[in-house]
Amino acid sequence: MEGKEESELRVLVVRGRHTEERPLQLSPDKPVGQLAAAIAAATGLLKQQQQQQQQQQQQQQQQQQQQRQQQQQQQQQRQQQQQQQQQQQEEQEQQQQQQQQQQQQQQQQQHLFTFVDSAGRVFDPQKTLSENGVILLSQQQQQQQQQQQQQPFELPLKGHNLFFVSATFVADTLLLLLLPLLLLLLLLLLLLLLLLLFLLLLQL
């Protein structure tokens, strides 16, 4: 019998960044299909590893794309926020300008219009009515009411007239106080007279 000749092949298998060598034994007695299947299996491992590497690369690319998209979104959000802030500032400035314009218009209108009294006197538009020397009817009525309320407590008299009125007022009050005393004295005198008459009658 002839001796069997066997040869040994090594298949490189890539695992990540490293490669491994796997022995692949070929024998002339083995069917060719079995040998081809073994080689196909070895190359299939290579393909799987290549596919895994491709998948990893794709995943990394996807992650990078996602990161870029996130960065773009963040930049867009920042730009939108900046635009909104600018719009708000512009709106505030416009409102302030409108308010200033309204105030200026009101001031100009106040200087344009004024009053004229029956004597032809023109009022100063920058002053109030009271500063222009105008007294309203309501103010006059209030002043009159205040004067009327103060009149019972005040005597509109001066000098000797006031002294005369005060003297007569004192005399009247004294008379009112002395009247009952005078009446009592008169009664006492009458009683004394009656007693004297009674005593005279007894002596007779």
Q: What is the pTM of this model?
A: 0.30
* Residue stretches of the chain with pLDDT short of 70: 1-16, 20-27, 40, 42-46, 109-113, 136-140, 150-172
Model pLDDT for residues 25-51, shown as the tens digit of each residue? 666 777 777 777 777 676 666 577 778
Residue 160 is predicted with a pLDDT of 43
Residue 81 is predicted with a pLDDT of 93
Q: Which two tokens stand for residue 167?
A: 């003297």
Residue 1 is predicted with a pLDDT of 40
Residues 155 and 160: their CA atoms lie apart, in Å, by 13
Residue 84 is predicted with a pLDDT of 93
What lies within 8 Å, CB to CB, of 5 at 6+ separation is 27, 28
DSSP states of 137-188 as a string?
HHHHHHHHHHHHHHGGG-----HHHHHHHHHHHHHHHHHHHHHHHHHHHHHH
- Domain positions in the chain are 7-103
